[in-house]
Amino acid sequence: MDADSLGAKNLFARITSFTAEAGSDRIENLCTEVLAWCVLRSKGFRQAFFKCFGVVDIDGAEIYTQFPVEIPKDRKGFCDLVILPANHRRRGIALIVELKVWSAFREGQLSDYRRALKKKMQFLEPRIVTVTPFRDLPPGSDHHVTWSEIGEVLERTAKTDDAVVLSEFAAFLRSRGMNKPVVIDRLDSATIGKWRTVAEKVGQFNSLFALLTLDKSLKGIFAARELDRPKLEYDDVGRAWLGVFTSGSPWYYAGIGVLPNGDAVLWVQVALSGDKRAKRLPGSLREDFAHAKAYATADR
């Protein structure tokens, strides 16, 4: 979208334009258009956004998305987000923001864009920066930030700027797994040693779960893909569990639990849809409920 397009200041006009080349990532395009709108409409976010890339300000910033450039070998490229000073012929910085959600940059993509932009805008210095979910600096990028960092800027700005959409965009990034910084503490030799031991034990338990496929009845409950992927998790009282489960209803779970005192137990659970307080049970369940322990139907 051009800076002077009729719907440039309207969020919904931007997110329905999707002017990128055929076959491009629509989520990537969506994030580009919404990000461009936030830069355009919020002075606080715009200043913080520029600061992420070491840019103080761009005089009279004009904002373009899917900015066309000619690259070698008769190919046409599109820069995701381009921010230019108001007078393109005056010397200054052209901020070129290339965004990726989960896809990778094409080999030489940023270098191609740099050469094309220098040829197209001879008075401006192209500064190519990147935003991806990962911390690695892409080849050819002058500066790099993660979507998590962009999400943090959105949330901080939303608290001081009267712009609910900023926080909504941050929430959208979280829903797509793009605003969840993962921090892993440094692993020392003792932790690695325990990790190896745990991995060995998990392998043994996996062999136990594999035996479920030998029972005709259980084989009909658990699919092979469910037995191949036991899940390690913790409950709300600090007990560790390694188990397999199904989806849908009835819901089945079989897991090995490690209690705080060090004992290991086998837990099997079946969950059925319906009202457990009903006075009349389906005929198919009466026999099973007659032999069930009291706690199985008690309100908890």
- The C-alpha angle with vertex 202 and arms to 201 and 206, in degrees rounded to 5, equals 120
CATH of domain 11-175: 3.40.1350
- The larger pLDDT score, comparing residue 119 to residue 198, is at 119
Read off the pLDDT band of 283 (50, 70, 90): low
Read off the pLDDT band of 259 (50, 70, 90): confident
User: Mean pLDDT throughout 168-193?
Assistant: 76
Distance CA 156, CA 167 (A): 9
- The larger pLDDT score, comparing residue 132 to residue 169, is at 132
Read off the pLDDT band of 81 (50, 70, 90): very high
User: Domain coordinates of the chain in residue numbers?
Assistant: 11-175, 189-296
CA-wise closest residue to 173 among 131, 143, 130, 110: 131
Residue 232 in contact with residue 198, Cβ under 8 Å?
A: no
Minimum mean pLDDT range among 26-35, 147-156, 162-171: 162-171
pLDDT-above-70 percentage for the chain: 74
* Token pair recorded at residue 26: 């629509």
pLDDT of residue 180: 65
Residue 113 in contact with residue 83, Cβ under 8 Å?
A: no
pLDDT of residue 79: 93
Mean pLDDT taken over the chain: 78
Read off the pLDDT band of 163 (50, 70, 90): low
| pTM more than 0.75 | no
Minimum mean pLDDT range among 58-62, 121-125, 226-230: 226-230
Residue with tokens 């009909």: 220
pLDDT of residue 275: 62
